[in-house]
Structure 1
């Protein structure tokens, strides 16, 4: 085959696929539908992908986990667990500012779940923003009913009160993915 002849066809195919994706995104934005709904992707399939993403995360294969969580979030941006998983990966990769943004999305989607707020506090600690971190942990103390989460927030607040820092290695304690 002549590669020079194939190149325009490949380029045309890629452009066609990009146009189709752009149209899907536009339709989704207009109707408020997630891509999974527009493409007919089942929740079971996404949950299977989530299992892989979580496995990569727990195995420390963060680049792979990030790829899978990004895919999941792109396909179903209404699922707070996917945003939470991506945020946890970003936090573990020490990309704290982006992690905070994703935790904010997860917090909005997971109404009543204070895990994202705790992790935002951890990110602020890692960036040396102690006042913001303290505010996050205080919010968890005020709003959460989860005994484990309350205990964790209390440890952070006690450490901040006693010496102005967090417990060692605590800013990377993310079990959210």
Structure 2
């Protein structure tokens, strides 16, 4: 725990140092950043952050999430996304925080980003379905569950998620049929 905090502190200090230098040498830093990105480097490389420091930030964000400190976790997940926007676990962490804070619309949008970055996983669709249900939109939840089931396929690591999705979807479809019958009377 202490080493995670030390890594977070060091990463924040490093970022702060780079921001101060940037203010002094805006043009040089802008040119350096352009060169870095043109060569395929990530912002963490520009800031000279090690993978261990970035992973320490992730560990702290995850810890905040696990302890219900969602707003604190959101801040770190957003920083992590700025450092590496192609890492799906950072985006999934942000989406989960938004979901827990009942910001369902933004959670759905963020889960959608996860599904684009990692088209093989059913996890974002499964969680999207819960957001839709919380928003009283069972039809969109059914569509999300269908996508979760499709992406789970026959992969053993997703079997439990697939089973849950199928049960939930069948219940929602039954409720929808009952509602249609009631409306047609």
What's the TM-score, normalizing by structure 1?
Answer: 0.74
Considering fraction of residues, name the structure with more helix: 2
Q: 2:126: which partner in 1?
A: 118
Shift of residue 112, structure 1, vs aligned partner: 0.8
Q: 1:23: which partner in 2?
A: 30
- Superposed CA deviations along residues 53-73 of structure 1, whole A, max 9, x for unmatched, are 111111111111111111111
Change in Cα spacing, 1:62 to 1:161, as seen in structure 2 (3 Å) is same
Shift of residue 134, structure 1, vs aligned partner: 0.4
Tell whether 2:161 aligns with 1:149: yes
Structure 2: how far apart are the matches of 1:25 and 1:77?
Answer: 20
Structure 2: how far apart are the matches of 1:131 and 1:66?
Answer: 29
- Superposed CA deviations along residues 69-93 of structure 1, whole A, max 9, x for unmatched, are 1111111111010000001001111
Aligned pairs (5 A) from 1:158-169: 158-164=170-176
What is the CA RMSD across the aligned residues, in angstroms?
2.6
Structure 2: how far apart are the matches of 1:111 and 1:17?
Answer: 42
Change in Cα spacing, 1:14 to 1:40, as seen in structure 2 (3 Å) is closer
List, as ranges, runs of 4+ consecutive aligned residues in structure 1 with deviation greater than 2 Å: 17-20, 22-34, 161-164
Count, aligned residues: 151
